[in-house]
Amino acid sequence: MNPKALDRLFRPTSVAVIGGGAWCRSVITSLDRIGFSGPVWHVHPTAPDAIRSIADLPVSPDACFIGVNRTATISCLAELAAHGAGGAVCFASGFAETGDGVALNASLLEAAGDMALVGPNCYGFVNALDRVALWPDVHGLVPVASGVAILTQSSNIALNLSMQRRGLPIAFLGTAGNQAQTGLSHMALELIRDPRITALGLHVEGVGDLDALQALMQEAQRLRKPVIALKSGRSEAAQTAALSHTASLAGSDAGAGALFDRLGILRVRSLDALIEALKHAHLYGPTEPGAIASLSCSGGEASLMADGGAARGLGFAPLTDAQDRALERVLGPMVTRANPLDYHTFIWNDAPRMAEVYGIMASGPAALTVVVVDYPRPDRCQTDAWDCVEEAARAARQQTGNRIALLTSLSDSLPEDRAERLMQAGILPLHGLDAALDALAVIYAPRIAADPARPIPRPGLAGEDVLRDEAEAKSILMRQGLDVPRHAQAESAEMAGEVAEPLLPVVLKARGMAHKSEHGGVALGLTSSQEVIAAARAMGTASFHVEEMIADGVAELLVGIVADPAHGYVLTLGAGGVLTELWQDVCHLLVPATEPEIDAALDSLRIVPMLQGYRGMPAGNRAALRAAVMALQDHVVAKAGRVIEIEVNPLIVTPTRAVVADALIREER
């Protein structure tokens, strides 16, 4: 593809619409309705007022909408490429997404040549900045001077998002379809460089080109433009066979989350939250995590904010002494001064005093001040008495220069015209308590610092794999510098008793058995050779692993790394041993993670009090634990994509050590 082809396609001065179906007539109507000022040529052999063939076009068009069947699409593309066209939206389906369309997909790419190709199997795009709509259906966009870009693989979701009534200015709405040539990340990279685009919203089903996504996020970081994403679906290739606990816990969704955290993509869980987060991104740009402030004239709303924020990891900034004194002066001693604040109703409709209260809350350490208010229905009620909230918020915003939001507990309690007016005044309108708090959590709750430039090792996974059992795995890890218990191997029960003598007390394990503890393949705390022999005979296997018993452990952790072809290598940290399935207390990072990232991840686990010294117990050796995790990562990186999964479970952390009590490795031969 010519590097300038996407620019010609997205910002054309001329358009050709090829085909005669209803969708082609809709594209022509869409172009007229949005106010496209350039020539639009309809190409069809028999339609009234149409140009009869591509060869008859007076000049090479910048942008084309191809609305014919899949076979004819290929020949049209070839003709347009020969004519020097800039790019095309391919509406037809039946290419790589179908069993018989793979060869056609290759022909499609060949026919496109240097042209930019969006699709196939997609609606196209609406560019509200330059008044272009290569779009074969209805949409809700209007021309804007600046706004967010939203890209999705789903045409119907794009159409639905265009109908939002929440004050979000959408500058560009695009669909990618099958991404035969141009992926979402390539489209996004072209758009994010436009100074009129303030932020980027993505709805993705699969990451696709990881290099392109990483390049996009490096550019987004350089330009200081937030990227908000909603990811749905699961990549079929992203989860390996679940031989280890790690592989079953770290599926593709965990991999996507770890990747997004590394790259700096703020991930939301719903379309509603996507819209709310994009409004914040458009208005306030990139934002560091921090505590917020909340105020309302209702104790019930204050409680909802407190509970909802805490459940999502949002912090509420404590009032400073100066704020406390100032609030007492305005509200009197009868109002309980706290954050969230219930400022009661006795100052309602007194906009200057309300503005003073809002300003006091906004002038403190909070990164965002949220005023909770639900407006009455204008078709059934007189709403003038609620104008004081907007007036006070405007005054507080002007006075402090800090971020202020108006949040409605119900999504339909803030009319569109008021939301648009608030956005123009620099005040964030937030629709619906749950969606708003979900959006604020991804923006303001603690998160690791993004590092989109850090290299991401990729799994190779092309050859035959082999499972290294515990003895082999520990030997490999010991060479990597991990702490492994003193041990010996035995090929009979009697031999196990003999080699156990210098190691007593010991742990006896059956070799060649996955998930040994679940199948009677582990015996702990054996104190004599006779106990070892009896335990070995009961296991019913012929080969055994004998090792010293680690008796002074303060916590058992799972540390594992699994190859995720869609996202890289995923590091899983969590409660280990018998607690792994019971608690499912895990977190995920992308390899390689830094020591501060590992520390922050460990601190997020419910098991962390045991590491810190619980109820008088000694603390675990945090430095040894970090070193073990780093060494495990180093092994994976050094193997250059050959590791499929590696797990230490448990890693027993003692006051002085971090000991590999059990391990397995699956890798290419």
Cα 183 from Cα 172, distance rounded (Å): 16
Same domain? 609 vs 510 = no
Q: How many domains does the chain have?
A: 4
Residue 233: what pLDDT? 65
Q: pTM of the full predicted structure?
A: 0.91
Strand partners, 659: 483, 652
Same domain? 524 vs 582 = no
Same domain? 13 vs 117 = yes
| C-alpha distances in Å from residue 243, one per residue of 248, 581, 629, 644 | 8, 14, 20, 11
Give the chain's mean pLDDT.
Answer: 92
Whether residue 352 has a cis bond before it, omega within 30° of 0: no
Determine the straight-line distance between the first and last CA of the chain, rounded to whole angstroms. 39
Residue 461: what pLDDT? 67
Residues found in the chain: 669
Single-letter code of the amino acid located at 138: V
Question: Of 136, 170, 204, which residue constitutes the final position of a domain?
Answer: 204
Domain that holds residue 519: 486-548
Cα 460 from Cα 563, distance rounded (Å): 9
Residue 238: what pLDDT? 36
Distance of CA 279 to the CA centre of its chain: 18
Half-sphere exposure of 391 (CA within 13 A, CB side): 12
Task: Tell me the backbone φ, ψ of residue 466, rounded to 5 degrees.
Answer: -135, 140
- Helix or strand holding residue 653 (H, E): strand 643-653
Where do the H-state alpha helices sit in 401-528? 416-424, 433-444, 470-479, 493-500
CA 189, 191, 193, 197 torsion-angle sign: negative
Sort strands 428-431 and 404-408 into parallel, antiparallel or unpaired: parallel
In a domain, 663, yes or no: yes
Single-letter code of the amino acid located at 311: A
- Output the furthest CA–CA distance in the chain (Å, rounded): 98
- Which two structure tokens, joined as six digits, stand for 561? 């790394």
Residue 102: what pLDDT? 80
Task: Tell me the backbone φ, ψ of residue 561, rounded to 5 degrees.
Answer: -135, 130
Same domain? 440 vs 573 = no
Residue 243: what pLDDT? 47
In a domain, 212, yes or no: no
CATH code of the domain covering residue 168: 3.40.50.720
- Which two structure tokens, joined as six digits, stand for 92? 């037809």
- The residue among 575, 583, 550, 576 whose CA lies nearest residue 655 is 550
CATH code of the domain covering residue 623: 3.30.470.20
Cα 621 from Cα 656, distance rounded (Å): 5
In a domain, 411, yes or no: yes
Measured at the CA of 566, the angle between CA 450 and CA 669, to 5 degrees, comes to: 115
- The residue among 264, 268, 171, 274 whose CA lies nearest residue 223 is 264
Sort strands 568-575 and 586-590 into parallel, antiparallel or unpaired: antiparallel
Same domain? 542 vs 568 = no
Same domain? 544 vs 584 = no
Residues of the chain with pLDDT under 50: 235-250
Same domain? 530 vs 559 = no
Helix axes 433-444, 271-284, angle to 10 degrees: 50
Integer Rg of the chain from CA: 30
Burial of 83: CB neighbours in 10 Å, binned 0-12, 13-18, 19+: middle
Tokens 């914040």 belong to 280
Same domain? 619 vs 505 = no
- Which two structure tokens, joined as six digits, stand for 93? 């389906």
- Which two structure tokens, joined as six digits, stand for 23? 């969708």
In a domain, 480, yes or no: no
Tokens 């179906």 belong to 21
Task: Tell me the backbone φ, ψ of residue 71, rounded to 5 degrees.
Answer: -70, -45
- The residue among 388, 308, 288, 402 whose CA lies nearest residue 343 is 388
- Per the CB < 8 A criterion, the answer to whether 418 and 435 are in contact is no
Residue 464: what pLDDT? 84
In a domain, 259, yes or no: no
| C-alpha distances in Å from residue 138, one per residue of 73, 93, 151 | 23, 20, 17
Same domain? 568 vs 663 = yes
Tokens 């066979």 belong to 241
Same domain? 605 vs 542 = no
In a domain, 268, yes or no: no
Same domain? 527 vs 584 = no
Same domain? 440 vs 582 = no
CA 488, 491, 492, 493 torsion-angle sign: positive
In a domain, 261, yes or no: no
Residue 326: what pLDDT? 97
CATH code of the domain covering residue 519: 3.30.1490.20
- Which two structure tokens, joined as six digits, stand for 591? 């390899």
CATH code of the domain covering residue 403: 3.40.50.261
Cα 512 from Cα 541, distance rounded (Å): 9
Question: Of 548, 576, 591, which residue constitutes the final position of a domain?
Answer: 548
Cα 588 from Cα 12, distance rounded (Å): 44
Residue 253: what pLDDT? 85
In a domain, 410, yes or no: yes
